[in-house]
Amino acid sequence: METLRVFFSAIIFITGIVLIAAVIGDFYWGSLFVAIACFVIAYFLWPSKKRGQREQENSFLDIVELVIELPVEMTIWVFRLLGRMLRSKDGGIDVDIDF
């Protein structure tokens, strides 16, 4: 079962990359949204070692996991950063940039 999840997740991720390449060539909103959906589906379908779904040690799968999880993790990181910047100390919305 884990092998099927790895296979389908990799295929869906590669499909997302191909759609992003198609968007770069000839921009189409539908391709962009489907590519983003492919990245998200591949992220949740992948049996992540970090989330405790994969027990075996395999350096190749660890590298593939890093590549598949990178787009979603970077997006989550950007939204968390924006949330911290826009959150004020008293609970309202405020731009709070600390240097």
**pLDDT digits over 27-54, tens only?**
888 889 999 999 999 999 988 766 666 6
The full set of domain ranges for the chain reads 2-86
Whether pLDDT at 60 is above 90: no
Give the whole-angstrom CA distance, residue 60 versus residue 86.
39
Mean pLDDT, the chain, whole residue set: 82
User: Tell me: the pLDDT tens digits for 1-20?
Assistant: 778 888 999 999 999 999 99
* Longest CA pairwise span in the chain (Å): 49
Helix pair 59-86, 2-25: axis angle to 10 deg: 60
